Each structure stands twice: as structure tokens, then as C-alpha cells.
């Protein structure tokens, strides 16, 4: 099992919401270093817990809806002990980490890297220019984090 | 003064809904209703699209059971093509459909309903959730995650992705199965079956604790509708329709799915965006029937796999005689079907013919009308299309599993509210039981919001005091 797991998530048909999965696509195309695995998902589901357990580091990639479009931010995540999902097929990263800790006694060191989108309309299958430009900056941040 | 209690949103279900309980001056229940508050419109916006797009379009109805829509939609397209799909193509579709049922049932039981079953209806709502289950029984929570993962992995292995796979196509499937993929799926099954058996054994020990709920959670007599094999065994992919009544009498049998319109009428009400299907010979609203795991098990003599048949016999013993009428036992039926699904997947994958490379029949449309019916996790799913000479959709109708149960769900919340809700001293546990009876049906509301004819619409204009000053209806 690779030490680092990157999970990019979002809808591919909701404009800039696709930035997480597209970032994963780009990373895989360019080639991942040894010890790093990257996967894309529409949403975060409970089964990802078993993918996270045993990893040293997890990097979540997502679009953000608030703030200046194009802004890229890196957040350190902790398991959210207060989280409780009512929809078990849609979780947030901190909740997933809490599931890891609660069920398996461990959770990886985790980061959330976001790029603020400009357009989340339905049936948009391309990134907006501002999100497209942010994608490269997001990838730079991913490399910084996985280098540690 | 009369009062209305609103439970909104209804939690731990798929989609968005509201329950209203109308109480009289004496605090006793006068009426109870289940409202689907979201509207979609697949029946309208799919008009004019090529029929071959229907599997991909209608799969977007749901993120939980896209596979069920893909299967029913492709069966409707097979009907339009007027082809018999190759036997291996059918077997592979069956594997995917059963994997979908396993993962969806696991979500319902472990994630959505186990907080009530393990922690109790009257427990603190702040901890009555999946985290509460993790604290009390972490092995059960881990099993739930793993079982769902096994179902999802089989779907992904076959279809290339877990959600909205495009491998099932009109006429069969797009690619045959490789030896490597078969072996990778077979490796998952012993663990899955072990989890399913362990959970089933554990749940059997819990059932006696819920005697009270089992006698009040949807025990009004209804009919049961499902697909069965021509021999009367459990069937999720093909077969014929059967309707049985609460006394166990078979009212309809060996009905080809294409004739569903002879059995089922559809009505609409102004308080919900969910249709109200009913059994036509008994009329509306008397023709109440249930679908899904409870109905499927009530309608059959055998499952056809070893361990599931033992569990089916035990299921039938939940009651002295006749079909199991309590909707509370949907949970039990779901666990039996998980076992069946895993056993049947193993049987299908071990069949040497599963590796045959002829998996797709090719043809252009040869009919103007196509109907596809399959069993989704929540019940019988029907896709019905009409096309023109260019293969464009001119009309479609979707009868969704959760919709079939609409009349029964409304009846059930009334029954539970009458049994548990005291309008003079409302407690959270009372209202949670009203929600819990809905969870028994595991409704999927994003699926169930569908149009039929002119949907009723009411617009109210209220003044600052909330008084209705004008009302427009159509």
C-alpha cells in the first residue's frame, strides 16, 4: 500500500466542481512518484475509510465555492469527532478521518487543498478559465505537500 | 385547537421529504401524510432524445441505484431492438444487478437503520447515528463498510466505475469478462458471505426485542408485487409479475412485465411529487400494494441458493401463517437478500459460460414501444419508452420502486402515529418511530420524484400574518 493517497472529488458535469478529479487526471498523466496513489471520486463515501487506513498521509482535492475565484488554499485536517452524517453516501474529509480513527484506531495525516471555482452550473463539462489557471497552482501545492 | 406536527427533513433516507401529522383538539391523530418535496422531470426532458441515450440519462436519476436504472433502461431498449441478448450478456447483467442490491441493502441496514436498531428509538438523538453505532458495535460498522465496498467493487470491476457505469448497453454488455476480473471478484465473495451470515445471525437475536414495533410498523393488509421466476422463485432481473394478497392468495401470476399497465394504475395527489401507483383491479386508493425485499420474499417459495433458502424459511416463521405483513421486517428481508445476492453472484461467476465472448446482440430499433422491468433494491422498477421512426423518444414513463410503496408508506405512518404519538405530550422517540417506519421501506426519493400527466400545483399568497389571501391551483 502506498504511503500517500490523493483523493480528488467532485462532479464532472458541474463546471468547476470537477477540479478535484481533473487534478487527479493531470497528476496521473504526468506520473506519480513512488509511494503516491491518486484516485478520483464523485463524492466521498464510507468505503474510502478502508482506503485511508494504513496510509501515512491523505491529500483531498476539492473545489471551494466561497471567496475569490481562483484562490488556492491548503488546510490541515483533523478528524471531526462531532461529525455525524445523515446521508451515509456523502461525507466530508474530516468525517471520513473520524470514521478511520473510531473504527480502526488510526487516521492519516491529512490535508485539504481547494481551488475556488467561478462556475458550478449544471451540464458544464469544462473548467472556467479562472479555474483552469488555478488548477496548475493547485498541483504545485499538492507536490509541496507530498514532498512534505 | 387542532395542531400540525411537521417532521422535516426526514433523516437517514435517500432524498428530501417531510411528514405532517394533523392532530385534533383532543390531541389524537386525524391525518398523516408523507410528502416528497423535490421535483425532477425525467419524463419530460428525455423527450426528443435518442433512445440509446436513455440508459445514461435515466441512470442520473439516482446516485445510489444507477445500476438498477441502467438495467431496466437497457431492457427497455432490448425490447425496442426486438432482440434476445446472448445468455452470457444476461448473466453478466445479473451479476451487476445483484452487486447493486448487496451494496444498497448494506447501506440501508448498516448506515441508515442500525442506529435505531442498536441504540433504540428513544435514545439520545445526538448520538443516535452511525458514530453511535461505531462506539457501541465497531465490528458491525466495519462490516457494513466492507460489505458495501464488496458490492461496489464488483460493479466497478464489471463496469469500469462504481457510479453510472456504461458497460451495460442495448443488446447486452459492451465487453466480455476476463479471467482476471472473474478471479478478482470471486476472491471477494467468501468474506462478503461471512459478513452477511454474521450480521444475519446477530440480527436474529435482536428481532425479539422489537415485538412492539413489529406489531405497529405497517401491519395493515396490503398486496405484494414482484417479479418471480416462472417456477415461482426469487428473481431480480427477469421473469414474470406476481401479485399476492395479505392472506397469501395469488391474485395475478405469470404476467409478462410488458403487461404491467394491466395491473398498475397511477394517481397523483396535491401534497407530494411522488406518484401514487395502485393495483388497478381494486381501484384507487384501495389498491395498496408493497414492493421490495419484503414483497419479493413473500411472493416466493424458494430463493434457489442454499443459505438464503434456510434464511427464507426462517423469515416465513416470523409469523404463524401467511405472508409477513409487518413492514418492520423489511430489515430482515434485506439481510436474506444480501445472502442470496452473494451466493448467486458466486454461482454465476463460477459458471464457465460467464467467460464466453458473445455478449451483445446488435440491431437497429425494430419496435416503436419498449418496456423494461427489473427488481431494484427497493422494488420493481419499470421503464417504458415510445420512439418515432428516427429512434427519438416521443413519450416515456418511469414507475419507480419507491413510488409503488407510496400508498403503503402513507398508511404506515398513520398506523405508527396512531400507536405512538400522543399530541398532549410529544416526545422525540414517538416522532422517531414515525420516521423509522419510513426507513423500513428504504425510500429513494430522488428516484421517486416523477411526473404523471399534469402534476397538481398549488401556489398560496400569504399576508404578513401568514393568512392565505389567495390560492391558485391547477
How many Å lie between the alpha carbon of A48 and the closest alpha carbon of chain B?
9
Query: Which among B301, B394, B352, B334 has a CA at the least distance from the CA of B182?
Result: B352
In the predicted model, is pLDDT for residue B177 greater than 70?
A: yes
Alpha carbons B194 and B152: distance in angstroms, whole number: 17
Residues of chain B with pLDDT > 70: what percent? 91
CA distance B275 to B264: 12
Please answer yes or no on whether B135 and A102 come within 8 Å at the CB atom: yes
Write down the ipTM of this complex.
Answer: 0.80
Q: What is the mean pLDDT of residues A70-75?
A: 95
Distance from CA of A83 to the nearest CA of B (A): 8
The whole-number pLDDT of residue A84 equals 58
The x, y and z cell numbers of residue B458, run together, are: 398549488
Nearest to B134 among A47, A87, A102 (CB): A102
For the stretch A42-72, pLDDT in tens is 888 888 999 999 999 999 999 999 889 999 9
Contacts with B107 from chain A: Cβ below 8 Å: 88-89
- Chain A residues interacting with chain B (CB cutoff of 8 angstroms): 42-43, 45-47, 49-50, 83-89, 98-99, 102-104
Of B63, B130, B146, the CB nearest to A85: B130
The closest of A46, A28, A29, A45 to A37, measured between CA atoms, is: A28
Q: What are the phi and psi torsion angles at B395 (to 5°)?
A: -165, 145
Please tell me which residue of chain A has the smallest CA distance to B103: A47
What count of other Cβ atoms lies within 10 Å of the Cβ of residue B379?
A: 29
Per the CB < 8 Å rule, is A98 touching B131? yes
Cell of B395: 413519450
Contact predicate B234/B343, CB 8 Å? no
pLDDT score for B163: 65
Tell whether the torsion through CA atoms of B119, B122, B124 and B130 is positive or negative: positive
- Which residues between 155 and 194 in chain B have a beta carbon less than 8 angstroms from any beta carbon of chain A? 163
- pTM, entire model: 0.88
Averaged pLDDT score across all residues of chain B:
89
pLDDT at A134 over 70: yes
User: Is position B349 annotated in a ligand binding site?
Assistant: no
Contacts 24+ apart (CB under 8 A), B426-429: B426/B5, B427/B122, B428/B122, B428/B125, B429/B121, B429/B122
- The answer to whether B450 is annotated as binding is yes
Across the interface, whether the CB atoms of B145 and A50 are under 8 A apart is answered yes
Q: How far is the CA of B303 from the CAs of B48, B235, B292, B344, in angstroms?
A: 41, 8, 15, 10
Asked if the model's pLDDT at residue A87 lies above 60, the reply is no
Confidence label for B453 from pLDDT (cuts 50, 70 and 90): very low
Distance CA B177, CA B295 (A): 33
**CATH fold label, A4-147:** Rossmann fold (3.40.50)
Determine the residue of chain B that is closest to A39 in CA distance.
B161
The cell numbers describing B109, all together, are 441496514
| Chain Cα centroid distance, residue A76 | 12
H or E element, residue B340: helix B330-350
| DSSP letter string, B88-114 | HHHHHHHHHHHHHHHHHHHIIIIIIIH
Residue B398 annotated as binding? yes
CA–CA gap between residue B266 and residue B278 (Å, rounded): 6
Residue B266: pLDDT over 60: yes
CB contact under 8 A, A42 and B148: no
What residue segments make up the domains of chain A, in order of their start? 4-147
All structural domains of chain B, each given as residue ranges with its CATH number in brackets, are 3-447 (1.10.645.10)
Instruction: Return d(Cα B122, Cα B433) in angstroms, integer.
Output: 9
Degrees, nearest 5: CA angle B345-B346-B350: 115
A46 interaction partners in chain B (CB closer than 8 Å)? 111, 144-145, 148
Checking if the pLDDT of B460 tops 60, the result is no
The answer to whether the CB atoms of A86 and B11 lie below 8 A apart is yes
**Banded pLDDT at B446 (limits 50, 70, 90):** low
* B454 pLDDT above the threshold of 60: no
CB B312 within 8 A of CB B336: yes
Round to whole Å and give the CA distance between B267 and B274.
9
> Residue A93 pLDDT > 60, yes or no?
yes
Supply the pLDDT for residue B23.
80
What is the arithmetic mean of pLDDT over B213-240? 95
B124 touches chain A (CB under 8 A): no
Per residue in B9-59, pLDDT (tens digit) is 666 666 667 788 888 778 778 888 888 777 777 888 899 999 999 999 988
State the Cα–Cα distance between residues B300 and B226, nearest whole angstrom.
9
Span B152-156, average pLDDT:
94
Contact B135/A at CB under 8 A = yes
Amino acid at each position: 500500500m502506498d504511503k500517500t493517497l490523493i483523493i480528488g472529488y467532485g462532479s464532472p458535469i458541474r463546471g468547476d466542481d470537477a477540479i478535484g478529479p481533473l487534478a487527479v487526471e493531470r497528476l496521473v498523466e504526468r506520473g506519480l512518484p513512488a509511494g503516491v496513489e491518486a484516485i478520483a471520486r464523485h463524492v466521498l463515501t464510507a468505503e474510502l475509510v478502508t482506503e485511508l487506513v494504513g496510509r501515512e498521509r491523505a491529500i483531498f482535492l476539492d473545489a471551494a465555492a466561497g471567496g475569490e475565484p481562483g484562490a488556492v488554499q491548503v488546510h490541515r485536517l483533523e478528524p471531526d469527532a462531532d461529525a455525524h452524517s445523515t446521508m451515509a453516501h456523502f461525507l466530508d474529509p474530516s468525517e471520513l478521518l473520524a470514521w478511520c480513527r473510531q473504527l480502526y484506531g488510526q487516521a492519516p495525516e491529512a490535508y485539504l487543498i481547494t481551488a475556488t471555482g467561478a462556475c458550478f452550473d449544471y451540464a458544464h463539462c469544462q473548467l472556467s478559465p479562472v479555474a483552469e489557471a488555478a488548477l496548475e497552482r493547485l498541483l504545485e501545492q499538492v507536490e509541496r505537500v507530498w514532498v512534505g | 385547537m387542532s395542531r400540525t406536527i411537521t417532521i422535516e427533513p426526514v433523516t437517514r433516507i435517500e432524498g428530501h421529504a417531510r411528514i405532517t401529522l394533523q392532530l385534533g383538539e383532543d390531541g389524537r391523530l386525524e391525518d398523516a401524510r408523507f410528502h416528497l418535496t423535490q421535483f425532477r422531470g425525467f419524463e419530460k426532458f428525455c423527450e426528443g432524445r435518442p433512445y440509446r441515450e436513455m440508459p445514461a440519462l435515466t441512470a442520473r436519476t439516482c446516485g445510489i441505484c444507477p445500476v438498477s436504472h441502467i438495467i431496466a433502461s437497457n431492457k427497455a431498449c432490448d425490447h425496442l431492438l426486438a432482440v434476445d441478448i446472448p445468455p452470457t450478456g444476461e448473466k453478466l447483467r445479473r451479476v451487476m444487478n445483484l452487486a447493486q442490491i448487496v451494496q444498497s441493502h448494506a447501506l440501508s441496514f448498516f448506515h441508515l437503520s442500525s442506529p435505531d436498531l442498536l441504540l433504540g428509538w428513544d435514545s439520545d438523538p445526538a448520538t443516535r447515528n452511525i458514530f453511535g453505532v461505531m462506539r457501541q458495535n465497531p465490528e458491525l460498522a466495519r462490516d457494513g463498510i466492507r460489505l458495501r465496498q464488496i458490492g461496489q467493487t464488483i460493479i466497478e470491476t464489471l463496469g469500469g466505475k462504481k457510479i453510472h457505469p456504461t458497460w451495460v448497453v442495448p443488446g447486452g454488455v459492451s465487453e466480455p469478462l476476463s479471467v482476471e476480473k472473474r478471479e478478482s471478484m470471486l476472491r471477494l465473495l467468501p468474506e462478503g458471505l461471512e459478513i452477511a451470515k454474521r450480521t444475519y445471525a446477530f440480527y436474529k437475536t435482536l428481532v425479539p426485542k422489537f415485538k412492539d414495533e413489529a406489531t405497529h410498523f405497517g401491519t395493515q393488509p396490503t398486496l405484494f408485487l414482484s417479479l418471480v421466476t416462472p417456477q415461482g422463485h426469487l428473481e431480480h432481473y427477469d421473469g414474470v409479475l406476481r401479485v399476492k394478497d395479505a392472506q397469501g392468495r395469488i391474485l395475478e401470476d405469470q404476467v409478462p412485465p410488458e403487461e404491467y399497465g394491466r395491473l398498475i394504475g397511477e394517481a397523483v395527489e396535491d401534497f407530494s411529487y411522488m406518484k401514487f401507483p395502485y393495483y388497478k383491479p381494486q381501484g384507487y386508493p384501495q389498491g395498496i400494494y408493497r414492493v421490495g425485499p419484503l414483497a419479493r420474499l413473500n411472493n416466493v417459495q424458494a430463493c434457489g441458493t442454499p443459505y438464503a433458502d434456510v434464511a427464507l424459511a426462517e423469515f416465513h416463521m416470523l409469523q404463524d401463517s401467511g405472508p409477513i405483513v409487518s413492514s418492520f421486517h423489511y430489515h430482515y428481508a434485506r439481510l436474506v437478500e444480501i445472502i442470496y445476492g452473494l451466493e448467486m453472484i458466486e454461482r454465476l461467476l463460477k459458471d464457465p459460460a460467464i467467460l464466453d465472448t458473445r455478449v451483445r446482440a446488435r440491431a437497429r430499433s425494430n419496435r416503436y414501444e419498449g418496456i423494461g422491468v427489473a427488481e431494484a433494491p427497493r422494488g420493481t422498477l419499470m421503464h417504458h419508452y415510445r420512439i418515432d421512426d428516427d429512434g427519438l423518444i416521443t413519450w416515456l414513463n418511469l414507475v419507480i420502486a419507491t413510488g409503488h410503496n407510496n400508498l403503503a408508506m402513507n398508511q404506515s405512518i398513520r398506523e405508527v402515529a396512531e400507536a405512538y404519538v400522543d399530541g398532549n405530550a410529544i416526545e422525540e422517540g414517538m416522532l422517531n418511530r414515525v420516521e423509522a417506519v419510513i426507513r423500513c421501506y428504504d425510500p429513494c426519493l430522488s428516484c421517486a420524484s416523477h411526473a404523471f400527466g399534469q402534476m397538481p400545483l398549488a401556489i398560496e399568497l400569504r399576508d404578513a400574518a401568514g393568512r392565505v389571501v389567495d390560492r391558485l391551483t391547477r
